[in-house]
Amino acid sequence: MATRDKRSRAAAVPPTRKPTTAASRVAPQAASAPPRASADGKTAGLNLPIDSHRAIASVALVMLILLTLLAPMSVATPNRAAFLTPRIDGSGSVGVGFNATGIERTVFPYLTFIERQQGNLSSTWPDIYGVINNDPSSVEAQRAIIGQIFGSTSGINVRVRDSGLESNPDPAKLSGVTFSYQQMTDTDTRENLGINGLGIVDLIHALTAPDRQEQQALERDAIVAFQTAASNDAKTWQYSYNWAIANFLVGNYTAAYEGMRAAETNTETADFHLIPVWMGLAALRNGEPDEAIKQFNRVIDFKLAAGSDENVRNSFEEARGLAQEALGDAQWARRDPATAYKTYQDTLQFGRSSAGLYRKWLRLGLQQRGYEQLLDDMNMLLGQGLATDLQGRIHHDRARLLSFMGRGDAAMSEYKQALVINQNDPPLLISYGQALLSSGDYNGALAQAEDVIRQLGKDPSAGDMATVANTVITSTSSLGLLEAGQELLDAQLLRAAAWSKQNSSQSMAAIDSLVSNITGSAAGQPTHVVGLLNLYGGNAYEMAATAASGDRASDLYGKAAEVYKQAWAALKDLPKGASGRAAALSSLARTTALTKGKSAQDGLTVLKDGGYDPAAISPEVSTDSDAPDILYAGALLLEQAGQQKEAVNAYRVSGVVRNLRDAESLTGVGRPLWMGNGTSVPAEAALQTGDAARKEPGVNPGMVVMRYKQAFALDSALAPAWNNLGVWYAQNGKPDVAKSYLSLSAAASPNYALGNHNLATEAYKSGIGNFLTAEKAQGDAIKASGPQDLRWGYNLRYDEAGPLPAPSGPQSDFLARLAALLILGLLLAHTLVGNDRLTNRMGLIPTRGVLGKLAGMLDVRVREAMPALVTPGSSSRSLLVAIGVPALIGMLGLAWGAGHGSFEVALLFLPVAFIVSALAFGANELAQRMSARRHKATTLHHLWPMGVLLGIVSIPFGFVYGWQNVTRLQVTGEHAQTEANRGGTGSRRSRTTEELDLEQEAHAEAIADSGDLVTVPVTGSLSVGGTGSLNLSPSARIIFAGMIANLLLGAVFAVIYWLTGWPTMRLGLFASMLVLAFTSVSEPPADGWTLYRRNAPLWLAVFVLASTVATLLALGLI
Amino acid sequence: MPEKAIVPAHRRLLGAIPAICLLLVLLPIVAGCSSPSAAPAAQAETVTAAQSTVTVLPAATAPAAGETATTVTEPLTDTATVTSTVADETPAPRFTPTGPPPSDPLDVLNIFGIVTPGNLAVKRDILPLDGNNPPNVLVTIAGARLGVSTPLTTENTSALGVMTYDPVFREWNLSWQSDPISGTARPLAASNQFGGTNGGDLLRDGSPILELRTTTLDGMAHLQLLRYDRNTHKAIPLKMVPSTGAPEKDALFDGELDVTVADLDDDGIYEVVADNVSGVQAWRWDGSRYIPRETR
C-alpha cells in the first residue's frame, strides 16, 4: 500500500541515515529539503549498512523472537508435596480434602494469633458468629450455640456467655453452680430457673463428654429440662427459646424452627431480632434456603426506631450482622454461590471483617476454582483497612496460593510482606520454609524449621511430640494448643524433607534420629499416645521419602511402613473413629505398596488384614467412622493394582459413607442427606465418586449423572461437578442438556476458566445461533485466567485437576509459538534492508530486502500472466479487489487460527474472520482514499502478488500476512494521464521545483513498485512541506492515515476485548495489528517505507508497537 | 459445703423424667393443646385465630371449647408413638370462630399439634398435595427417644403425616398419617426446593409421591414410597418387586448404605437406587410397580 505523492523525497531519507553510495551523495537537493536531513549523509553519525532506525527495529524483532522462544507461556504444575502435611489427629493423610473446609485447611492451614486464642475452652465464650463459622459438630460451634442460651443463677435474662460461667469451668465451680440450680428446683418461685440451669449444666458437660453416647444422653436431658421449664412457665419466652436452641445444637432443626416461632409470638421478644435469625439458620440447616433468606432479610431490612435503647440497638446490630453473613450461607446453599461470594466479600469490605468470614469466603473461592480472581480479590481486601492480623494472614495466604499455582517469585514477594507484619509467627515461618524447600533452598528451609521449633519452646535437637499427642486425645484441649502442636509437627516434617533433599549420610542419619526421638518418647504413655507418636514418626519418614527418589525413596517408604505398623498395632483396638486410627492403617498400606520389592497388592493385603478389604467391603462400614478414609486409600491402591472395577466401587462406598457419617455427626436428626445446608459437607467426595464412575467401562450413564448431581446438590459451588456432568452429557449425545449444565457451571463460578471454556466449546459447536453465548463464555474464561485458555482448543475437557489450586490454562508447546515466529521472521526479512540510494540521474533508488527481491521476480511473471490482477485502478472495482482478495485470504487464516485446531469451530468463525479481515484491510485503504480526497487526489489500487502468496502461506499458521496490495496516489482530474503513464511511457510536464521533485519521487516509487522506470505526472495541487507536530507532508499524512485507521480500529477492538474478553474482538485486534505491522515495514514500496523516510522515529514507534502486539497476540499472551 | 450430694445434672434429671413425662401427658389437656414441647410456651395462652396471626396456637388440632375430642395414639413401636387428634364421628356442635380469618393460614400452623410427646418433627414441608390453597403440610415424624424408657440403643420408628387446613374452624388438622416403619427418619428436601423430590410428581402421572427415608441402628437405609390421592386425601404405598422373581409387596426399599430416588433415564420418571457395599441396585417404574433394573 505504498502511496505515490509525487513529491521529492531526496530530503526524506531519515536524518540519522548516511547514504552509502556515491550516487546518493550527488543526488539533487530539492528546494524543499528539510535542513535536518542531507542527502550526502553528513549529518549521519554512523556509516552502517542499514539505517539505525531499521537496526533498532531489527534488534526489537530479534528480542521478540527470543521472547517467543524462551518466554514461559504456561506454568508447570509445581511440586506441592512440601506444602501438604497431615493433621496431628491423622486427618488429611489420605486425601487432601473431601469438603470445602478440608480443602481450605489444606491450602491455608494456619490460623492467625487471634484466631488461635479464640478457641481456648477456658477463656471467654465465642461470639455468636461461631455458630455459622464452624462445623456444626465442632466444639467451637457448640460452644457458640450454648453461649446463647439464657439463664444464670441470678436470673433468666442473662445469656450463658455473659453469666461469668466458663465453657470448661473448674469442676468445683461447676459443682457449686449445679448445687445452686438444684436448690432452686426446690423453691416455688425459682424452680423453673433451676431446671433451666440444670439443662445448661448438662450441655456444658456434653461439650467434654468422653463418648458420643454420653454426649447424646446429656443433650437429651438438657432438652427435657428446657422443655419442662417451658411447659411450667409458658409466659417466660426464654425457656421456649432455650429449648429451640438446644434442639438446634443437636440437629433437630424443624423443632428448633418451630420452637423459635413459638418464642416469637411472645410480645416481649419484639425487640429481640435474633429469633428470626435462628429461624433462618434452622431452616437453612434443614435444607430450606428460601425460607432462610426470607428470615434473614426480615432482619436485614428492619428499620430500628431512632430512639431505641442502646441494649436494643446492640442486640439488633448483632442480629443484623449475623443475618448478613448467614445470608451468604443461604445463597450458597440455594445454588447461587456467585452471589454468596459477593455477599461475603461485601461484608468483609464494608461490614464486619472477621477471620471466620474470611475463611468461609476463601472456602467458597476454592470450591469455585476461580483462583485468579481469588488472588485479585485477596489483594483488593488488603487495601480495605482490615485488622493488621488479618492483613498478615492475607499476605500469607496469597503466598501459599501463589506457591500452589507455581508462581514462586510472586509467592516469595508475598511471604516477605507477610514477614514484615509477623516476622516471628511460627505458621508463617513454616510456610516460608516450605516455599524455600520447594524452590531448592534446603538449608534455608531447615533454618526456618528449626527457628519454628525454638519459637514453640522446643529443643530442635530433640523430637518430643508426646505433648502434642496428649493434646490430641484430650477433649478439652484449646485450639491454641492444637494449633501449636500442628506447627511443631509441620516443622519436624519440614526438617525431614529438607534433610532428605540434602541427601548426605549425615542428613539421613538426622532423619533416623528425628524419628527415633519422636517414637522414643512413647514410653509410659497411654496406648493412644503411643499410636499417635508412631504415626508422627511414620509421617516423618514418609515426608522424607516423598522428597527423595529411586531406591532411597523406596528405603524410606519401607522405614515409614515399619513405624506405621507400630502405630496401627497400638491404635487398631481403639474405638472406630479414634484419632489416628484410620490414618495409621491407610498410611501403612500406602507406604507398604511403595516399599522396595512390594506392590499395590501388598498394600491391599495390609488393608484386608486390618479388617478393611476394599475389594470385598463389609456392610458394617456404614456405621464406621474410619471406613471412608481407609476405603479411599484402598481405592487408590486398587487403581494402582489395575482393579478398576473394584476401585470404582470402593470410591463409591467411601463417598457415600463419608456423607452418611457427616450427616449423622450430630446426636439429633441432622441435615438432609444430599443437600447443601450452609455447612461444609463432603461434596468433593461425591465428585470423586462421579469421576470414578464415569471411568468404569459400561457404566449406566444415569448412575454417573446421579453422582454428579449429588455432588453439586451438596455444594453448589463445586464448579467441576457441574462441568463434568455437562461434558458427560455432551459425550453421551445430549448436547442441549450438556449446554445447560455447562451454563450452570459458569453461573456457579463465573471465574471458572475450564467451565466457561467448555461452555464456549459446546456453544460454538452448536452452530451460529449460539455464537454469542459462546463468545461470552469464552470471554469470561479469558478474563478469568487469560487467553492461554484458548490453547485448550475446542474439545470438551473434564476437570481432573483435583481440589488443590494449580496453574491456570493448558501447557504450551513449540507449535503454539510457530505462528509468532513466522510473523517475526517475515517482519525481520522486511526490515533487514540496505539503505536506499540517491542518484543524480534517477533520484532515489530504493533498496530491496530478500522478500523484495523475490517479489520483483514474482511480480514480473504475474504481470505477464495475469496483468489485470496487478493493474492499478481507481475504480470501486479496483478498490474492492484490493480489499476483497486479502480479506478472503485473511478470513481463512484467521478463522483457522480462531478454531484452534477445530475445523468445526473454524468454519463457524469464517464470517467473523472475513469481517475483521475486511475491516483491517479496508480501514487502511479507505482511510488513505478519504485522506487523498481531502487533498484533491485519488488512489489507485492493485494486488501485490508476493503479498498474496505470503498471505496464502500464512493460512495454515493461523494468521494473515497483512501487506497484500499496493495503493498509489494520483491527483484528481489526471486519471487518464496517470493511466497512460502507469506503464512507464507517460510524458512529463515541467512544473515548479516542487513538481520536479515530485516527479523524482514518482520515479523512485514507481521503481519501488514495479522495478521499471515510471514517471507519474502530478499537478501542483498537493501542498508541500512538512506540517503539524509530526512534521508530515500531505502525502505522508495520507499514508499515515491508513496506519492511524488500523491503530484506531485496533484500539476499538482492544477496548472491547479488554471489557468482554470476546475472541472475536481479539481476532479483530489481531487482524488490525497484522495489517498495521506488515504495511508499516520499511521495505519499499510499503506504506512504512514512505513514513520511514519522512519521520523515522515515528515509523519506528508504529512498527515496533504493531509488531509487539501482533506477536503477543500470536503467542496467546494477551 | 453443699447440703445435698451433688450428682450430675443429667442423672438427676433422669430421676425426674417420669414426673416430666406425666406432666407432658397432662400438659395438652391442661393447656388445651396436644403439643409436647417447650416451644409451646406461648401456647398456654388462649388465643383465637381471629385475634392474632401468631405462628403457634394452642389448639391447631386441639378440641375447641365444648367439643369432645378423642386422642388416637397409634403406636409406632413400644417406645415411640405418633399421636393424632381427630374429631369424634358425632362431634358436639363446635364454636365457629368469628372475626376476620388469618391473612395467611400458615400463620396459625402448629405442627406440635400432631407431634405428640416422645416424638420429634424431623421435617415440615408446605406442599400442595391436594392441589388446593392453602397447601398441605407434610410432616415427617420420628420417635424422639427422650424418655428413659427409650434407650438410645433401641430401634426407633418413623412415619409421615399430612395436615390440612380447615377454613371453617381455622385450624390445621392431621388428615392422614402413614403406618410407621423402622428407623429414624432422615429429612428429605421437598420437591419445591432445588434438587428436592419429596411430594413431587416422581412418576409423571400427576400424583404426588411421598417419601419416608429412615436409618436403622444397624446402619441399613430404608425408603418407603407412597402415592398421595387427591380425592381421598390419603396416601397408599406403591408396589415393588424386591428382586427378580420375588413376590410383589409394598414399596419399602432397603439399602446397605443408602437408598434414594433419581431420574437415571432423564425421562421424568424417577428410579429408586440403593447403594450397597458390593454395588448398586436400582428399580424402575413399569407403570404399576417398581421392578429391578440393570444398573450397568
pLDDT, tens digit (0-9, with 9 covering 90-100), for A785-832: 888 888 888 989 999 988 999 887 777 777 788 999 999 999 999 999
C-alpha torsion angle, residues A1090, A1094, A1095, A1098 (rounded to 10): -30
- Cβ–Cβ below 8 Å for A178 and B186: no
Query: Could you give the CA distance from residue A343 to residue A332 in angstroms, rounded to a whole number?
Result: 10
- As a whole number of angstroms, the distance between CA B15 and CA A196 comes to 16
Count of beta carbons in the 10 Å neighbourhood of residue B25: 13
CB-based contact, A699 to chain B, within 8 Å? yes
Is the separation of the CB atoms in A1053 and A899 below 8 Å?
A: no
Candidates A224, A240, A268, A631: best to mutate against B (most CBs of B within 10 A) is A224
Say if residues A1072 and A1053 touch (Cβ distance below 8 Å). yes
B229 contact A CB<8A: no
- A46 pLDDT more than 60: no
Contact assessment for residue A544 and residue A81, using Cβ atoms and an 8 Å cutoff: no
Is residue B212 over pLDDT 50? yes
User: Nearest Cβ partner of B41 from A175, A263, A335?
Assistant: A263
Cell numbers representing residue B94 in the block: 363446635
Question: Which is it for strands A965-971 and B69-75: parallel, antiparallel or unpaired?
Answer: unpaired
pLDDT at B76 over 70: no
**Beta partners for B274?**
B259, B281
Take residue A478 and report the three cell numbers written for it: 484449646
Q: Cβ of B31 and A234 within 8 Å?
A: yes
B280's grid cell: 448398586
Please, which residues have CB within 8 angstroms of residue A417's CB and are 6 or more apart in sequence?
A: A395
Nearest-Cα distance to chain A for B121, in Å, is 6
- A217-231, A434-448, B138-152: segment of lowest average pLDDT: B138-152
Q: Could you give the CA distance from residue A981 to residue A968 in angstroms, rounded to a whole number?
A: 13
pLDDT in tens, A186-212: 887 889 999 999 999 999 999 888 888
- Of the candidates A946, A983, A894, A81, the residue with the CA atom closest to the CA atom of residue A544: A81
Cell of A796: 470438551
Q: Cβ separation of A670 and B55 shorter than 8 Å?
A: no
| B38·A674 Cβ contact <8 A | no
Residue B26 confidence (pLDDT):
35
Percentage of chain A lying above the pLDDT 70 cut: 89
Q: Give CA B192 to chain center in angstroms.
A: 18
Asked if B122 lies within 8 A of A669 by C-beta distance, the reply is: yes
Strands (E), B230-265: 234-237, 239-240, 249-250, 252-255, 258-262
State the pLDDT at residue A1002.
Answer: 53
Average pLDDT on A445-454 reads: 95
How far away is chain A from the Cα of B124, in angstroms, using its nearest Cα? 7
A194 SS3 class? helix
pLDDT band of residue A842 (cuts 50, 70, 90) is: low
Secondary element (H or E) of residue A943: strand A937-943
Contacting A residues, span 583-622, partner chain B, CB-CB under 8 Å: 616-622
A-chain residues within 8 Å CB-CB of B199? none
The reply to whether residue B39 touches residue A263, judged by beta carbons under 8 angstroms, is yes
Confidence of residue B191 (pLDDT cuts 50, 70, 90): very high
Distance from CA of A805 to the nearest CA of B (A): 28
Interchain proximity A265–B55, CB inside 8 Å: yes
Phi, psi of B143, deg, nearest 5:
-65, 135
Please check whether residue B14 touches A, CB under 8 A.
Answer: yes
Considering only CB atoms, B41 lies closest to which of A239, A669, A702, namely: A239
The answer to whether residue A955 scores a pLDDT higher than 90 is yes
The DSSP-derived string for B280-295 is EEEEEE-SSSEEEE--
Q: Which residue has the cell 485502478?
A: A873
Average pLDDT over residues A1058-1086: 93
pLDDT digits (tens, 9 = 90+) for A523-578: 889 999 999 999 999 999 999 999 999 999 999 999 999 999 999 999 999 999 99
A703, B14: Cβ pair inside 8 Å? no
Angle, helices A171-184 vs B9-31, to 10°: value is 30
B193 close contact with A: CB closer than 8 A: yes
Which tens digits make up the pLDDT trace of B87-107? 445 556 677 877 888 888 988
Q: Give the A window 311-350 contacts with B, CB below 8 Å.
A: 334-335
d(CA B72, CA A26): 123
Strand partners, A971: A937
Give A473→chain B minimum CA distance, Å.
23
Q: Please state, in angstroms and rounded to a whole number, the distance separating the CA atoms of residues A829 and A833.
A: 8
Q: How far apart are CA A784 and CA A1076, in angstroms?
A: 29
Q: What is the pLDDT of residue B99?
A: 81
The amino acid at residue A19 is P
Distance (Å) from the C-alpha of residue A340 to the closest C-alpha of chain B? 16
Q: How many residues does chain A have?
A: 1118
Residue B44 pLDDT = 29
Residue at A68: amino acid letter: T
Is residue A941 within 8 A of residue A882, CB to CB? The reply is yes
pLDDT at A2 over 50: no
Q: If 0-12 CB within 10 Å is exposed, 13-18 middle and 19+ buried, where does residue A619 land?
A: middle
pTM for the full model?
0.85
Higher pLDDT, B288 or B296: B288
Is A764:A384 a contact under the CB 8 Å cutoff? no
- Please check the confidence at residue A982 and state whether its pLDDT lies above 50: no
What's residue A353's pLDDT?
A: 67
Interchain proximity A264–B39, CB inside 8 Å: no
Taking the mean position of all CA atoms in its chain, how far away is CA A965?
43
Whole-angstrom CA distances from A141 to A89, A165, A273, A377, A1045 are: 19, 17, 20, 28, 64
Q: Which of A1058, A1103, A1087 is nearest to A966 (CA)?
A: A1087
How many CB atoms within 10 Å of residue A211? 11
A698 touches chain B (CB under 8 A): yes
With CB atoms and an 8 Å threshold, state whether A623 touches B195: no
Phi and psi angles of residue B108, each rounded to the nearest 5 degrees, phi first = -105, 15
pLDDT value at position A123?
A: 61
pLDDT of residue A111: 83
Q: Could you tell me how many helices (H) and strands (E) chain A has, helices first? A: 47, 6
Q: What is the mean pLDDT of residues A142-167?
A: 91
A with B: how many residue pairs have Cβ under 8 Å apart? 251
Q: What angle do CA A271, A277, A281 make, to 5 degrees?
A: 160
Residue with C-alpha cell 484419632? A579
Q: What is the mean pLDDT of residues A326-340?
A: 95
Q: Return the pLDDT at A453.
A: 95
Secondary structure letter of residue B198 according to DSSP? B
| Residue A1111: predicted pLDDT | 95
Name the helix (H) or strand (E) containing A398.
Answer: helix A388-404
Is B2 within 8 Å of A226 when comparing Cβ atoms? no
Of A707, A706, A704, A714, which is closest to residue A662 (Cα–Cα)?
Answer: A714
Percent of chain B whose pLDDT exceeds 70: 65
For residue B54, give the nearest of A182, A265, A699 by CB distance.
A265
- A589 in Cβ contact with A583 (< 8 Å): no
Residue A661 pLDDT exceeds 90: yes
Q: List chain A residues with CB under 8 Å of B120.
A: 252, 255, 668-669
**A892 pLDDT exceeds 60?**
yes
Q: Does B278 touch chain A (CB under 8 A)?
A: yes
Which of A733, A888, A866, A757 lies closest to A810, judged by CA? Answer: A757
The ipTM estimated for the assembled molecules is 0.82
pLDDT category at A1008 given cuts 50, 70, 90 is low
**B215 interfaces chain A, CB cutoff of 8 Å:** yes
Query: Could you tell me which chain B residue has the CA closest to the CA of A709?
Result: B195
Distance (Å, whole) CA A418 – CA A410: 13
Q: How far is A81 from chain B (nearest CA, A)?
A: 33
- Cis peptide leading into residue B135 (ω within 30°): no
Interchain contact B21–A (C-beta under 8 A): no
Query: What pLDDT shows up at residue A341?
Result: 96
- First-to-last alpha carbon distance for chain B, in angstroms, is 72
Looking at residue B237, its pLDDT comes to 97
What is the C-alpha separation between A683 and A73, in angstroms, rounded? 33
CA distance B157 to chain A (A): 13
pLDDT at A790: 87
Identify which of A374, A325, A329, A371 has the alpha carbon closest to the alpha carbon of residue A348: A325
Residues in a beta bridge with B176: B162
pLDDT of residue A627: 96
Cell, residue A7: 513529491
| Contact status, residue A1009 vs residue A966, Cβ threshold 8 Å | yes
Answer whether A663 sits within 8 Å of B10, measured CB to CB: no
DSSP A772-797: HHHHHHHHHHHHHH-GGGGGG-SS--
A202 touches B: beta carbon within 8 Å? yes
CB A1043 within 8 A of CB A1082: no
State the pLDDT at residue A836. Answer: 75
Which of A202, A207, A220 has the highest number of chain B CBs within 10 A, making it the mutation to test binding with B?
A220
Q: Which pLDDT score, from 0 to 100, does residue A762 have?
A: 93
Q: For residue A118, name the pLDDT band (cuts at 50, 70, 90).
A: low
Minimal Cα–Cα distance from A327 to chain B, Å? 17
- Asked if residue B243 has pLDDT above 50, the reply is yes
Residue with cell 434452622: A282
Would you mind telling me the total number of residues written for chain B in this entry?
296
Residues A692-704, mean pLDDT to the nearest whole number:
88
- Distance (Å) from the alpha carbon of B10 to chain A's nearest alpha carbon: 5
Residue B56 and residue B113: Cα distance in Å, rounded?
9
Across the interface, whether the CB atoms of B38 and A216 are under 8 A apart is answered no
pLDDT value at position B78?
Answer: 36
A770 CA: distance to closest CA in chain B (Å): 24
**Rounded distance, CA B71 to CA B25, Å?**
11
- Cβ-based contacts of A257 with chain B (< 8 Å): 124
For A155, the enclosing helix (H) or strand (E) is strand A155-159
Is A853 in a helix, a strand, or coil? helix
Q: What is the pLDDT of residues A598-649, one digit of tens each?
A: 999 999 999 999 999 999 999 999 999 999 999 999 999 999 999 999 999 9
